[in-house]
């Protein structure tokens, strides 16, 4: 599904984002990306989402080399690769319903289909009763759930999450992780960059540790033992 071959990415100021990264993520996997800030987690997600282009190597997503894609093809790739962020990135002037619908409208989906899909998605993320609320009228966790609903509008095969619990308290963070786990159970590949060791240990999924732009560790699913204090 996703393959990185000898991938290096260097920022214009000369900072190495990633250096000779090799990894393969199969369809339906749930992968955590962990590591200190600035060591390449977000850069790796951006490479998959084609917000960055590798300066060396090859990134293949669903069989396509992202480097060779035209801007139009990039748009179609992003419909199959949803992304959520630590800061939610919702439009403050639109309701949660409109925020989710916006993602459909900009891809040319009919109003009829929007009216069918959006309520379903809001129900899935438990936001049906907050559909008409604006982002600043709901909690951070609800905003993140709305962002997840927006990322799912095109039924993506891959969902990328960049520190999805970074701005949330522990309980709300667990709720979001549970939601991501449910989405993964329905067959969507989930790649989640996080600092939250507790969540990583509790969920016991594949963990890729990045250090100074390189993969320091790639621990397969189930290899991490849950600690006694963690619950999900």
Partner 1 sequence: MGLQSLDFIIEEVITNLRRDRLISFATLGVVAVAICVLGGIILFLLNLRLLTEQVAKELKITVYLKRDVSRDRAKSLETEVAAWPRVSSARLITKEEGWEEFKKTHPVGERLEGFPIPWTDAVEVRTQTSADVPAIGEKLAALEEAKDLVPTPEEIGARTGVPQRIIRVRHWMNYGVLLLAGLMALAGFLIIHNTTRLSLFARRREISIMQQVGATPGFVAAPFLLEGAVHGFSGALLACCVLVPVHMYLRALAANSGWALLKLLPDDQLLPIAVALIASGTLLGVAGAWLSLRRFLSRDPEPEVR
Residue closest to 142 by CA, chosen among 169, 161, 119, 116: 169
CA distance 64 to 58: 10
For residue 22, give the H/E element and its range: strand 16-25
89 lies in the binding site for partner 1 (CB under 8 A):
yes
Which 4-23 residues touch partner 1, going by CB under 8 A? 9-12, 17
User: Residue 101 or residue 200: which is nearer to partner 1 going by CB?
Assistant: 101
Question: What sign does the dihedral 44-49-55-57 (CA atoms) show?
Answer: positive
Which 175-194 residues touch partner 1, going by CB under 8 A? none
72 lies in the binding site for partner 1 (CB under 8 A):
yes
Site mask for partner 1 (CB under 8 A), range 142-171, x = bound: --------xx-xx-----------------
Contact assessment for residue 88 and residue 143, using Cβ atoms and an 8 Å cutoff = yes
The region of 100-108, 119-127, 177-185, 198-206 touching partner 1 under the rule CB under 8 A is 100-108
Contact assessment for residue 143 and residue 135, using Cβ atoms and an 8 Å cutoff = yes
Which 29-68 residues touch partner 1, going by CB under 8 A? 46, 49-55
78 lies in the binding site for partner 1 (CB under 8 A):
yes
- The strand pairing partners of 146, in sequence order, are none
CA within 13 Å, CB half, 221: 8
128 lies in the binding site for partner 1 (CB under 8 A):
no
110 lies in the binding site for partner 1 (CB under 8 A):
yes
User: Residue 24 or residue 105: which is nearer to partner 1 going by CB?
Assistant: 105
Q: Which of 91, 216, 217, 232 binds partner 1 (CB under 8 A)?
A: 91
Q: In the bound complex, what is the minimum distance in angstroms from residue 126's beta carbon to partner 1?
A: 21
CA distance 59 to 6: 9
13, burial (CB in 10 Å: exposed 0-12, middle 13-18, buried 19+): exposed
Residues making contact with partner 1 (CB under 8 A): 9-12, 17, 46, 49-55, 71-72, 75-79, 82-83, 89, 91, 102-103, 105-111, 150-151, 153-154
């Amino acid at each position: 599904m996703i393959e990185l071959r000898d991938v290096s990415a260097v920022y214009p100021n000369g900072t190495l984002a990633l250096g000779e990264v090799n990894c393969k993520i199969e369809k339906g996997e749930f992968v955590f990306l962990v590591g200190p800030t600035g060591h390449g987690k977000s850069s790796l997600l951006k490479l998959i989402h084609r917000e960055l282009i590798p300066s060396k190597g090859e990134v293949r997503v669903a069989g396509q080399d992202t480097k060779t894609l035209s801007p139009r093809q990039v748009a179609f790739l992003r419909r199959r690769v949803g992304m959520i962020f630590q800061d939610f990135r919702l439009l403050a002037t639109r309701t949660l319903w409109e925020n989710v619908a916006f993602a459909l409208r900009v891809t040319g989906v009919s109003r009829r289909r929007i009216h069918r899909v959006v309520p379903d998605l809001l129900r899935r993320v438990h936001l049906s009763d907050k559909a008409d609320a604006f982002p600043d009228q709901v909690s951070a966790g609800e905003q993140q759930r709305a962002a997840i609903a927006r990322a799912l509008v095109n039924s993506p095969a891959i969902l990328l999450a960049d520190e999805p619990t970074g701005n949330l308290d522990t309980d709300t963070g667990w709720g979001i992780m549970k939601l991501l786990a449910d989405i993964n159970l329905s067959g969507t590949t989930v790649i989640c960059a996080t600092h939250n060791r507790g969540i990583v240990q509790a969920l016991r999924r594949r963990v890729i540790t990045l250090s100074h732009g390189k993969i320091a560790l790639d621990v397969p699913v189930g290899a991490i033992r849950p600690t006694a204090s963690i619950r999900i």
